[in-house]
Amino acid sequence: MFSFSSILLIVLAYSALMFAVAQWTEHRRFKNSRFALGPYVYALSITAYTTSWTFYGSVGSASRSGFLFLGYYLGPTLAFVFAGSILKKMIRLKQAHQFTSLADFISTRYDKSQTLAAITTVVAVLSTVPYLALQLKSLVVSTSIMTGHSAFDAYLDVGETLAPIVALFLLVFTILFGMRRLTPTERHPGIIITLAFASILKLGAFLLAGIFICYFIYDGIDDIFGHLSEFRNAFNPDRTHNSALPSRTNDIITWLTHLVLSSSAVFFLPRQFLLSVIENSDERHLRSASWIFPLYLLVITIFVIPIAGAGMVLGFDSSQGDHFVLTLPVLFGNRWLALAVFMGGIAAGTGMIVIAIMAIATMVSNHWLLPVINLAGFLKPLRRRVLWMRWVTAALLLGAAFLFERLFGPEDNLANIGLISFAGILQFAPAAIAALYWNKANRTGALLALTGGSLVWFYTLILPDMTKINWLPLSFMVDGPFGISALRPQALLGLSFLPPLSHSVFWSLLVNITGLIFGSIAFRQSSEEQRIAHEFVNILEPAVHRPAHSSQTSTIPLSVKISQVGNLFASFFDPGQTKTLMQQVLLNAGLQGRENIDLLELVELQHESEKVLASIIGTPAAHSALKKEKLMSPDESRQLAAAYADLFAELMVSPSELKERVDYHQQRSQLLEHEAQSARILARASQQMFATLDVKNTLQSIGASPLPELAEASLIFLPQGYSLGENSDALAFFRHSDEETALTRTIAKNIQDTLDQDPQICARLTIIKKILLSQKPRSSPDDAPEDWTPLFASFPFHSSYCTPLKARGSLLGILVLFSASPGRYQEIASSQLIEQLVDRAANALDNAMLFASAQKALQDREDFLSIASHELRTPLTGLRTQVQLLARLATRNQLASYPMDKLSTLLDGSDRHIERLGRLISELLDLARARSGTLHLNLEEFDLGLLLTEAMERLRNEINALKCEVVLDLQNGVIGTWDRVKLEEVVVNLLTNALKYAPGKPIEMRVWKEQDKVLFSVHDHGQGIPKHEQSRIFMRFKRAHRNTEVSGFGLGLYIAQQIILAHGGSIWVKSELGQGAVFTVELPLISEQPSPKEKQPVDSGDYCP
């Protein structure tokens, strides 16, 4: 399709463009610009995690194993979202110690051990070489395809020509981009910008390929899957590919293994450590990275399965899947798209190679070569040739990768090669994570862990591959070394049911973690290691500042010490660099312009010298070099010890008492810091909560105010009757994510049907519900706490704090805080701060509710006056018309001659209008009594079934006029003690509503008895009541169907509910749209007279005249 010379020119043009971008960015004018140092560039550079393995290999993995490939990307996503503190700690430690590599980080924590740094470097090299080979393989194969050959030709004559050229190009590219200068502590904005550009290029190319394959070769993704169903045998027929998760046991184990490996790799791959930690200029950039990086992984995997399916449908074997994304555009003659895909692959591979070789070359030069040079005196002149050593290291690494690719490339696919590397990188994880979170972890434990785990990894994964190229006999795999079957590399101790990769991960991690724990428990830390361990574990705590002044006498000539440090620096750097670094040391130590210094300032000078030197050659080498230089003479060391002894003597305290005093002042400092932080939290929360009188905004401010300092999540619960007109519970849940507060759920109705189970939250809310139900009656039997559907899917919350929101002696609601830290709320200081915050929150909520109530009252007054004037005017108008007619007849002496039937009709109409006016006035009186709590019951014993019959007969005219059929289903002998008149009013109201809203349709009325309770229901077959309206219809002036012409105040159901509540019963409705409504009333057999002092809860905020 393209000639090799054309491909070479295109790649050279791309390289020149990248080089120009890097040069432009590193220009002094742009180097420190917001763009070059911005969060989005940083986040995109981290996506260098997606290498040729992603660009080409993901499709190959999908074609062979279906959705198993998702584990490679789900692991990093979960790691970034839930383990961001690991990166945050490492970044802050890098700023304090000037790390240059992952080996620096690990060795610094464990007593600045050069041995541990060297072993870390060995494992990093062994793990990275296969990964470099993976990139080399993808570049060689893709070049072979672009020049008109097949992927298999890459391992014949074509490959023998292409591979060395590609490797040489990568070496030159790496040196030009990553190792032109010896300045590893400076950020490399040029490289970071090019990586960000490359990330956009490879993503765009992959998406273009996916769109072309899915929508130009086929008619969409559904079309591909439709064809694929006819060729299901192209996939493993035992696997179900319609599920996003693997189905068989081995598949699940493999998937989990991929999850663990990729979660570790995203933090501890040397190149990812370089990009995420060393190149980070501001830890706040992690906020953007925590969503951009997972989003990028999601987008770049969208078309993986469709492309894999398309290739299989076209008849390609799954073994060819690694290059479907390039082969298909070539096959269908789209040369420009093929070129774009090829360049995307170049961007994916070269970006990884440059960064990986930069990271490994730094580790090799600092932790292998420099220690050897320092040991061999005749090699010391080479210390000033560190940059050359890194160039040679880069060449050797690429040579090793070339050899690995030639030997194992034909046998292994891209994913297998990548997983071998990931399993090696996993060996860093236990020691690295323990370095950040376990004070007791020590150098011996880390040495045992890293050495043991790495040997098991090499034995179980690398050696088996050597049988493929006949470097080891096949019997080594089948029978084990020396015929010992228990030592078979892929069936250690007879464990043979695990897949080879999972088997290696299991045994290597077991040995690794066991060695770490045993070594850390069995051996003690040195005092220096204890100090460093404390610093690493507590790096996110507020810093303790050193005193600005010293009481020591300045008698040490600074020029002598500067000369010593300068001579040491000069052995590694040229004169210009030495001068620059010395100025930096003096500036950091605050010693510029000084002639003499004291002992404590000498300690500071040594500390800063080591830190600056470590930024070039690594912490272990810098520590060793300064130790040999003896910047502090034996006499000065004795003087320093004597100074500390004098200090003890002057204080007149024993060492133990001194420690107590130091602890006291540290605690006092922490207390003051805590109080200052509490004041900041309260001030910020008050400003937010009292900034608005809108209830929803106030609730959101209250829910957000404890986050993230006091909780990871919060829940606000407002009970029924307190939720501003909603006849239901209100629940709002807030969770802290990416250091920003997000309102994740707000449920105002029917929360029982919408939420999932979480035992902890359910237990808390059950208690809350019981407390609140003790203060107000139930509105339905389903309201009991035992029937609450458990709430929310489980979170990793280990402690919670539940407190009421009370203002002016009234309970407004409940605030629950959740924390991932066990026992967090057992601290008295935290509880006091929370209570102060809750007091302010309750006042803010009370203010907002009062304001909303006032607004609601004004609106209800207007609504009431409008409704009342209309409802009263209608019968008055009719009555006035009829009275005027009678007056005219009387004036004209025509009453005697007026037809009797018309006169009777006229008088009946007047009577109806008067009756309607009386009913409206009675409703208003009943409303007033209900609200004042003076609703009086005239209790008597009667048959409830007979009452329903009488009520039906009372409305017989309306029933006939509306052509409704009322069916009675009455249980005999349902006799109780109630207020006959008021219950008849309830029945008439329910039956009248049924007639109004379901004219011409049947109505059923039932009465039945259940133990010591009596129930009756009215069931109509009208249009039904929407779900969201069912709680509102029992409120004043509310109707289910607002647009209907039905008359009335809208008080009927409210008054009916108050009458039933006064009897100690309950009323509720069940309805589905189009299926009518069933109103059910439950009464005790014997009702009692309600106390006038007990007021029923009302829907707050409604206006009552």
For 224-253, the pLDDT digits (tens) are 888 777 665 444 444 444 444 444 667 788
* Mean pLDDT on 195-222: 91
Encoding tokens for residue 426? 């996993």
652 has pLDDT over 70:
no
User: Could you tell me if 1086 and 937 are in contact, meaning their C-beta atoms sit under 8 angstroms apart?
Assistant: no
> What residues contact residue 864 under an 8 Å CB cut-off, 6+ apart?
1037, 1103, 1104, 1105
Q: Kindly report, as residue ranges, where domains of CATH 3.30.565.10 are found in the chain.
A: 936-1084
User: Could you tell me if 728 and 1031 are in contact, meaning their C-beta atoms sit under 8 angstroms apart?
Assistant: yes
Q: CA 629 to CA 623: how far, in whole Å?
A: 10
Q: Give the least confident one: 79-83, 288-292, 923-927, 970-974.
A: 923-927
Q: CA 1047 to CA 1057: how far, in whole Å?
A: 19
448 has pLDDT over 90:
yes
**What are the tens digits of pLDDT across the range 628-647?**
777 777 777 777 666 666 65
Encoding tokens for residue 697? 């905004």
578 residue type, one letter: T
* Mean pLDDT on 195-212: 92
Predicted pLDDT of residue 270? 92
From the candidate CATH numbers 3.40.50.300, 3.30.450.40, 3.40.50.740, 3.30.70.1450, the one assigned to the domain spanning 653-919: 3.30.450.40
Average pLDDT, the chain: 76
Categorize the per-residue pLDDT at 807 as very low, low, confident or very high, splitting at 50, 70 and 90: confident
The pTM assigned to this predicted structure is 0.57
* Mean pLDDT on 566-595: 75
H or E segment and range at residue 1017: strand 1013-1020
Which stretch, 170-184, 262-276, 910-924, has highest mean pLDDT?
262-276
Categorize the per-residue pLDDT at 340 as very low, low, confident or very high, splitting at 50, 70 and 90: very high
Q: Which fold has domain 936-1084?
A: Heat Shock Protein 90 (3.30.565)
Question: Which residue from 381, 268, 575 is spatially nearest to 389, judged by alpha carbons?
Answer: 381
Predicted pLDDT of residue 725? 45
Q: CA 801 to CA 833: how far, in whole Å?
A: 12
Predicted pLDDT of residue 834? 85
Is the CATH number 1.20.1730.10 carried by domain 4-428? yes
Categorize the per-residue pLDDT at 362 as very low, low, confident or very high, splitting at 50, 70 and 90: confident
**What are the tens digits of pLDDT across the range 700-743?**
888 888 877 788 778 787 765 444 444 445 666 676 653 333 33
Could you please report the per-residue DSSP string of 276-334? IIIT-S-TTHHHHHHHHHHHHHHHHTTTHHHHHHHHHHTT--GGGGGGHHHHHHHHTT-
Predicted pLDDT of residue 177? 65
Categorize the per-residue pLDDT at 451 as very low, low, confident or very high, splitting at 50, 70 and 90: very high
Other beta carbons within 10 angstroms of residue 705's beta carbon come to 27
Predicted pLDDT of residue 1102? 35
Predicted pLDDT of residue 891? 83
% residues pLDDT > 90 (the chain): 15
**More confident position, 160 or 793:** 160
* Mean pLDDT on 1020-1049: 69
Q: At 510, is the secondary structure helix, strand, or coil?
A: helix
Q: Kindly report, as residue ranges, where domains of CATH 1.20.1730.10 are found in the chain.
A: 4-428
Q: CA 443 to CA 107: how far, in whole Å?
A: 8
% residues pLDDT > 70 (the chain): 73
User: Could you tell me if 1064 and 1078 are in contact, meaning their C-beta atoms sit under 8 angstroms apart?
Assistant: no
**More confident position, 151 or 328:** 328
Predicted pLDDT of residue 79? 87
Other beta carbons within 10 angstroms of residue 295's beta carbon come to 13
